[in-house]
Every structure is written in structure tokens, then in C-alpha cells.
Structure 1
Amino acid sequence: MIHQDTIVALATPSGAGAIAVIRLSGKDAISIADSCFQSVKSEKSLTNQKTHTIHLGHIIDGNKIIDEVLVSVFKNPNSYTGENVVEISCHGSNYIQQEIIQLFLRNGCRMATAGEFTLRAFLNGKLDLSQAEAVADLISSDNEASHQIAMQQMRGGFSSEIAKLREELMNFASLIELELDFAEEDVEFADRTQFKELVERISFVLKRLIDSFAVGNVIKNGIPVAIVGEPNVGKSTLLNALLKEERAIVSEIAGTTRDTIEDEISIGGIGFRFIDTAGIRETKDVVESIGIKKTFEKIDQAQVVIFLADSNNFKDESFVHTFKIEVEKIKNKYPLKPLLIVANKVDKLNASQIELLQNDIQNVHLLSAKNGLGVDELKDKLLSFVNTGLLRNSDTIVTNSRHYDSLLKALDEVDKVRHGLESGLSGDLLAIDIRQALYYFGEITGEITNDDLLGNIFANFCIGK
């Protein structure tokens, strides 16, 4: 997959704005841009300018001036793609953007496909594959934690850790392979004791990386939190209090919320997606029944469930009994799903009533969504479900499912090598498992790849990146 042509695309979001950036990359990028560029103060040629310089002038189509622009020149190999790159900062009119792009297409450029600039950076050795994927994660990051992880991976934190393991394993693999050439002499070039220690260390690191995916996945995609409970207990009011805006309609009429309402906020740098559901109750209303059915679907999809109740109802012993039964039902159905029991409207209770409520319901969280009482403490509880210690320790965190899959396969092969060493397996059989482990390491960073894999990865990029 070698590209020799010159590509062009809009690098900024489509639509009108103050400015837009149009990017060209390829062997002829500078000469094509130069053929359509006229300097303001001199007859300078872009092809004669130094790399990493900016030039003021006009983009012209024959005698027609399209726009006054700033042109940035980056010469290979010192550019993002490793090729000649030109970036044109023009005014953000949709008309101007399209006129300039169409002009370059007529002068020898091809429209870039999704992620093609970053694909060329990978093919030209400017980034490894895991770093290239981190570029897409960085663009899509919408909270502090996902941004922090993407930056670490783009700087090579994850790939350097994998590369180090792969190099050490490859050194021993070469010694094992050398033994095969001297099979008749029955010699061992690879120290089996040191090899066992290496395999144990690689296994430990792989397990740590695999375990980090549970945290990385929720950081990257956000944590869905379902707010459930009977009608009129304050679910929509709580959603509004968490979001600090009037996102959901609030009224005293039971059953006001008839469909799920979702919105996301960042708590401590982690994205939480809150789902306000229809109140759970017996009803003959067809529309409300559909909303209640969706409520149970959202509980299935959520990673955390907030079970909200009106604290005034706990004055009734029969309600307390029924409530405990409902709590046990949810716990039994979703044993691995964190459940937060929340009593709302505590501003209407006196001290003795609050004490009685806390004695009746273990680990209940008290709040008044209407007054904001206890909302911040609820956010802290939600954040406690995420192992943010990994972030503070700057450990490598895996967020990519492709990496996760390759790590699992690599660990499986490393385990085979360890069992082989323990059982005294011959070097030729050990070499097979070692080669396979090296293969999966190489899949992560891109030392081993194919066109189909690259196509699937870069198809998820935006055009212009």
C-alpha cells in the first residue's frame, strides 16, 4: 500500500466559520499549491521556501482571486505525514472552501479518504499503529481522562512498553532458533532460568494491561447510569440537578416522563451518561407502558443503577417492606452491577425521621434534588466506582478493543511458552509459540499488518486527518 499521488481535504470541520484549513500531502503538494498561489509582496515561489515557514498571499484561479490566505509549508521528511505538506488557512466561507478544493483537484490532487493523512504518517514511519489510533481517540476525547490517555498513547507510552517486551522476547527467540541449527550438538544458547524469569515478567505486564481495559473502556466511552424508581419520586429533578440545567420536564403529575432522556457530564475527568427513565408502575396507558419497557432495557445497558425513592414514603412500614423486596430483585438480577439506593426529598423530613430511614435502609444516600442537597456527594460515590488511581499513577491504560484482543492472544501464547519450559519441551516446539506471541505483539504496533486491517482502522477517522 504505497501512495505516490497528492491528496487534499478540509482539515477543519465543515461549515462556515472564521477560518478554515485545507491540507495537501504528497510529492507534488508544494508545486501544486505554488501554481495556484500569488505572494502579496513579491514573486516568491513556495517550492524555494524553507520548511516550516508561513507565507501571505492569494489563491488564484487564472486571473481570478479566490481568497487572501496564509500558506504553511512543511517539506519531507519533517512533516506530519513524512511527505511534502501544505496547509492553507483561508476564510471560513463554504463557497471559498469548495472553490479552493476544486481548484486543487483540477490541478492534480485527489480527494483524501477518511484517515488517509494519518495512514500515510504510519506508512512513512512517523507513527506506529497504536499511536495512529490514538490520534482518532484524541480527536473524539470529550473529557479530561480520555484526553490524558490518548495523549499518553500518541506520545508512544503504550507502544514503547509493548516494543520493549517484544524486543526482549525476540532476543531469546533468536537464541532458541540458533539452538535448532546446532540440534545435533545438543547445546543450549538460551539460559532457561533467565528465560523463565522473562516469561513470568511478560505475563505479569500483559495481565496488568489486560486488566486496565475495564477502566480504559469506561473512560473512553463513558459510564451509563440509569436513574430508576416509581413515578414522581424526582428522577427528572435529579437529572436536572446533576446536569445543572433544565434538561427534563418536571411536574407533579405522575408519569410525566414517558421516554428515556439521556445526557452526559464529566465528573472528575470521567464521562458519565445519565439516563432518566419512565417511572416503574402498573399502567393501562399504552404510551407510558412502552416507556416503562424501555426503562428495563436501559437498566440492562447501564453499568450503574440509581434506585430513587421518595423519602416521605419510608414513613409507611408496608412501603419499606415492598421497597426492600424490589431492591433484592434488582441485586439478584444484576449481581455485578453497582446499585445506589437514594432517598430524595429529605428536606421534608425531620432529624428523627432521617435517623429512622437510615436504620431501615442500609447504605442509603440522602439528598434533595430540588435544593441540591447531597448531589455533590452522589457524584463522589459515582466516581468511586472508577479506578482513577490508574490515572494518577500514570500507568498505561488500554482503551482499544483491538489492542485488548491482541493482548489476550499474546498472553495465551506466553502461557504456552511457560508451560513448555516447565515440562521441558524441545526448542523447536517452544519456538512455534514464541513466534506466535511475537506476531500478536507486532499486530498492536503495526510491525505485522495487512491492507484489510488498515482499511478497517482508518475508515473510522474523519476526512482531513
Structure 2
Amino acid sequence: MIIQDTIVALATPSGSGAIAILRLSGLDAITIAAEVFRSSSNKDIRLVKSHTIHLGNIVENHKIFDQVLLSVFKGPNSYTGENVIEISCHGSVYIQQQIIQLLLRKGCRMAKPGEFTLRAFLNGKLDLSQAEAVADLIASDNEASHQVAMQQMRGGFSNEIAKLREELLNFASLIELELDFAEEDVEFADRTQFKELLDRIVFVLKRLIDSFSVGNVIKNGIPVAIVGEPNVGKSTLLNVLLNEERAIVSDIAGTTRDTIEDELVINGIGFRFIDTAGIRETKDIVESIGIKKTFEKITQAQVVIYLVDSYQLINDSEQLSRLKIEIAKIKEQFPLKPLIVLANKADKLDDAQKESVLKEIENTHLLSAKENSGVEELKEQLLSFVNTGALRNNETIITNTRHYDSLLKALEEVQKVQFGIQSGVSADLMAIDIRQALYYFGEITGQVTNDELLGNIFANFCIGK
């Protein structure tokens, strides 16, 4: 894919602000910018050094559009590997539009989503996994997702894959050489070393594949469903966790008739809390729909918080029996989901009553959402469900579904090669599986691509990046 034209886009968010940055990239970026820029010190920006900034005006004929700072980056030492110009202008939407329209008249075209990063990939400034990490970095909204994106953008993941691919490629070339001398029955590839390499590759692939469950959680947040009977304080708990009046709170049972979602970052990890309609028998059609959605949200959630009214438990034995049945149902229906049982309104109980509640329902934790008591302990328990050890150890974590799929396919092919060695399969058959494994490794880093794949990846970027 050879790209000759020059693109332009707004690199900062659209709308008014203190400043806006317009980015140009392409062979003629500096030449086009020179046509519309008049330096305050009468410099010709076509002759200035790379990585320099210049004060001046954007003009057309004798009309001045704005006073700007213009940055010059000469290829190949730029983000895209091409000539790049960045114009920092005042943040008026009118000024932005006028300058972009002027640059379009001078020969630029509007950039497509992700086209600057696509050019960086095509010009060898980034591999494909690093380019995808740019989008993840832009989208990161908590410390953990930012850390993972930065680690991947620095090449931690791609370096690991590239090293494995290179070692496998070396052995593949020896296997291919054996095919050229098939009639002489010689082995150029040491089978013992090859087995050791395959074992190491399988170990690394399994570790990376296993990291996806953590990485996906870090990237998208952990969905936590808050469930329970009506009027036990689910909405109050959500409001306390988020520190705002997000959900309507009233003494009327069934106030929450639909699910309410919001996100909270705890120690750098995102949690998406879902306040659901109270679970009870009802003839109200709208409330029934809300209760149905509650069970759908439990299915989607990774953690379930079951909230009970501790004061009711003490004074109503039927209520207690019904709650035990409901909790047992959830445990039976969702055996693999962590379930936190919280006895709310503990501020109404004395010490003896608190002890009684804790004995009645196994693994119950006392809470007073109204008094903000026990909330910090709840946050600590939620964090305990997340494996943050990999983050602390700066290990490679997979967050991209495409990478996960390619790793699974590569593992399958490598395991076929392992089986082939153990079974004494001929070199020509093993070579087929090795080539396929190399193909899937190449898909991750971009050594194997096609226009459709690149289109799907970069279409999800913002324009200007």
C-alpha cells in the first residue's frame, strides 16, 4: 500500500477550547503549510530543522485567520514516518474550520479514522499490536487500563511474540531444508532442542491466553450486579459507592423499575455497578419487566452483591426463610460467580442482633449504606476478586480479542507440531503446522495483514489519531 497524498484532521477534541491542534501528514505537508504560514521572524519553514516550533500567522492572500504555533517534524523522524505539521491555533470552532478548509483548498484531504496511526504502521514506526494499543491508551479511563495500554504500546507484548516467532522460524527453516534433502534422510533440526522450544512456546502462549480474563476485566471494567428484595437499600448503596444521587431513593417498594448503571474506579480498577429492580412477586407489568432484567443482569455480571435488610431478618422469620431460598437459588443458578451477601441497615441493630444476623446467613457482611459503614470493607472485598499481581509484576496482559483469538489458534498449531514429533510424523506434515503457527504469530504483530483486517482495526480509531 503506497500512500502519496497529504491528510489533515483536528487532533484535539471537537468543540471550543483554549487551543486546538490541527495535524497534517504526507509528502507535501511542509510545502502546503509553507503556503499558508507567515513566520513572525520571516523564516521559511521548508528550510528549518525538524522538531522545531515557530510563531506566525495563518494567512490567505492578505487575510489573517489566526496567530498560531507551527511544529515541524520531518520524516522519517515523526509519528507517521512522513513529514508532519502540527498547527496550534486558538480553540474557536470557526477558526478550526476556516484553517482546515484553507488546507483542503491547498491540496490536503480529510484524514480517515486512525489514518495517522495506520501510516505509522505502514511506515514501520509501530507494529500492529502497538498501533492497537494507541487506541486502548486513548480509551483508558483508569490507572490499570492505562498501565496495560502503555506496556503494550512500548512493545512488551509484540517483543515477546516476535522473539517466539523468530525462534520458531529458525527451526522452520531447518525443517524446510530437510525437505530439500528428503532422499538423503538427514535431520538438520535437533529434535531435542525443538521439543524444548515448543514446550517453552506453549508455556508462554498459555500464560498470555490466561491473562486475557484479567485483561478484559481491566479494559472493560468488572460488572457488579446489586440485587435483593425491594426497599432493602440497593439504590442507597449505589449512591454511597458513587458518592452522588445517581439512583432514586424512597420508602416505596418497587421504586427502581429498571436497571441503573454507573462506574467506580477502586485502586485503579474499574467496577460497573448495576442497581437492579427488587426481586419479589408482583402483578405490576412494568415492575415485572424490571425483575426479569435483574436476572439478565446477574447473568452478565461477574460479581453479585445480594443485599438484605438486617432489621427485617431479626423481626420476620418468614422473610428470613424466603431470603435463604432466594440466595440458594442464585448460588445454584450461578455457581461460579462470586456472591457477596450484605446485611444492610445494621445501624438499627444492637450487638446481640448483629451476631444473630451473622449466624443466620453464612458469609454475611454487615453494612449500613445510610451511615456509610462497611462500604470500605466492601471495596476491599471487590478488589480481592481481581488478580492485580500481573500488573504489579509488569507482566504482559492481553486485552484485545483479536490477539486472544490468534494466540488460541497459534497454540493449537504448536500443539499439533508437538504431537507430530511424539508420533514421528514426517517433516513435510510438521512444516505445514509450523507455517500455520507462524501465520497466526504474524497476524498479531502485523507481519501478516490484508486491507480488510487493517480497515476493521483502524476504523475504530478517532479521526486525527
Class of the TM-score when normalised by the shorter of the 2 chains: over 0.9
For residues 80 and 388 of structure 2, the distance between their equivalents in structure 1, rounded to whole angstroms, comes to 35
List structure 1 runs of 4+ shifted beyond 3 angstroms: none
* Paired residues, number: 464
Per the alignment, residue 451 of structure 1 pairs with 451
After the TM superposition, which residues 84-103 of structure 1 pair with which residues of structure 2 at under 5 Å, given as runs? 84-103=83-102
For residues 355 and 148 of structure 1, the distance between their equivalents in structure 2, rounded to whole angstroms, comes to 43
1:237 partner amino acid: T
In terms of mean alpha carbon deviation, does 174-183 or 290-299 score higher? Answer: 290-299
For residues 204 and 433 of structure 2, the distance between their equivalents in structure 1, rounded to whole angstroms, comes to 18
In terms of mean alpha carbon deviation, does 292-301 or 138-147 score higher? Answer: 292-301
Does 1:377 find its partner at 2:377?
Answer: yes
1:176-205: CA deviations, max 9, x gaps? 111111111111111100100100000000
For residues 86 and 320 of structure 1, the distance between their equivalents in structure 2, rounded to whole angstroms, comes to 69
1:288-337: CA deviations, max 9, x gaps? 22222222221122111111010012213332222111111111111111
Corresponding residue SS for 1:46: coil
After the TM superposition, which residues 305-454 of structure 1 pair with which residues of structure 2 at under 5 Å, given as runs? 305-315=304-314, 316-454=316-454
After the TM superposition, which residues 155-234 of structure 1 pair with which residues of structure 2 at under 5 Å, given as runs? 155-234=154-233
- Superposition deviation, residue 250 in structure 1: 1.2
Corresponding residue SS for 1:12: coil
For residues 251 and 33 of structure 2, the distance between their equivalents in structure 1, rounded to whole angstroms, comes to 64
2:47 partner amino acid: N
Does 1:116 find its partner at 2:115?
Answer: yes
Per the alignment, residue 243 of structure 1 pairs with 242
2:202 partner amino acid: S
1:358-385: CA deviations, max 9, x gaps? 1111111111001110001101111111
1:449 partner amino acid: T
Per the alignment, residue 268 of structure 1 pairs with 267
For residues 347 and 460 of structure 1, the distance between their equivalents in structure 2, rounded to whole angstroms, comes to 49
- Superposition deviation, residue 5 in structure 1: 0.1
For residues 44 and 454 of structure 1, the distance between their equivalents in structure 2, rounded to whole angstroms, comes to 39
Corresponding residue SS for 2:46: helix
Does 1:126 find its partner at 2:91?
Answer: no
1:14-72: CA deviations, max 9, x gaps? 000110000000000001011000112x3211100100000000001211100000000
For residues 6 and 440 of structure 2, the distance between their equivalents in structure 1, rounded to whole angstroms, comes to 33
Per the alignment, residue 464 of structure 1 pairs with 464
Corresponding residue SS for 1:383: helix
2:285 partner amino acid: V
For residues 433 and 288 of structure 1, the distance between their equivalents in structure 2, rounded to whole angstroms, comes to 56
For residues 22 and 117 of structure 2, the distance between their equivalents in structure 1, rounded to whole angstroms, comes to 15
For residues 156 and 145 of structure 1, the distance between their equivalents in structure 2, rounded to whole angstroms, comes to 17
2:320 partner amino acid: V
Corresponding residue SS for 2:435: helix
Corresponding residue SS for 1:287: helix
For residues 284 and 166 of structure 1, the distance between their equivalents in structure 2, rounded to whole angstroms, comes to 62
For residues 300 and 283 of structure 2, the distance between their equivalents in structure 1, rounded to whole angstroms, comes to 26
2:333 partner amino acid: K
- Superposition deviation, residue 2 in structure 1: 1.7
2:222 partner amino acid: I
In terms of mean alpha carbon deviation, does 329-338 or 97-106 score higher? Answer: 329-338
For residues 188 and 211 of structure 1, the distance between their equivalents in structure 2, rounded to whole angstroms, comes to 35
Per the alignment, residue 283 of structure 1 pairs with 282
- Superposition deviation, residue 74 in structure 1: 0.1
For residues 182 and 255 of structure 1, the distance between their equivalents in structure 2, rounded to whole angstroms, comes to 79
- Superposition deviation, residue 234 in structure 1: 0.3
In terms of mean alpha carbon deviation, does 362-371 or 406-415 score higher? Answer: 362-371
- Superposition deviation, residue 284 in structure 1: 2.5
Corresponding residue SS for 1:318: helix
For residues 4 and 265 of structure 1, the distance between their equivalents in structure 2, rounded to whole angstroms, comes to 46
1:265-285: CA deviations, max 9, x gaps? 101211101111111122222
- Superposition deviation, residue 132 in structure 1: 0.1
1:67-95: CA deviations, max 9, x gaps? 00000000000000000000000000000
Corresponding residue SS for 1:231: coil
For residues 276 and 334 of structure 2, the distance between their equivalents in structure 1, rounded to whole angstroms, comes to 18
1:133-158: CA deviations, max 9, x gaps? 00000000001000000000000000
Question: Which blocks of at least 5 consecutive residues in structure 2 are unaligned?
Answer: none
1:438 partner amino acid: L
In terms of mean alpha carbon deviation, does 285-294 or 18-27 score higher? Answer: 285-294
Cα RMSD after superposing both structures: 0.9
For residues 173 and 45 of structure 2, the distance between their equivalents in structure 1, rounded to whole angstroms, comes to 50
- Superposition deviation, residue 261 in structure 1: 1.2
2:366 partner amino acid: L
In terms of mean alpha carbon deviation, does 248-257 or 18-27 score higher? Answer: 248-257
For residues 388 and 314 of structure 1, the distance between their equivalents in structure 2, rounded to whole angstroms, comes to 36
Does 1:68 find its partner at 2:67?
Answer: yes
TM-score normalised by the chain length of structure 1? 0.99
1:219-268: CA deviations, max 9, x gaps? 00011111111111000110011111111111112122122111101012
1:427 partner amino acid: A
1:404 partner amino acid: Y
1:45 partner amino acid: D
TM-score normalised by the chain length of structure 2? 0.99
For residues 405 and 337 of structure 2, the distance between their equivalents in structure 1, rounded to whole angstroms, comes to 24
1:96-144: CA deviations, max 9, x gaps? 0000000000000010000000000000000000000000000000010
Per the alignment, residue 254 of structure 2 pairs with 255
Corresponding residue SS for 1:226: strand
Question: Which blocks of at least 5 consecutive residues in structure 1 are unaligned?
Answer: none
For residues 354 and 60 of structure 2, the distance between their equivalents in structure 1, rounded to whole angstroms, comes to 77
1:412 partner amino acid: E
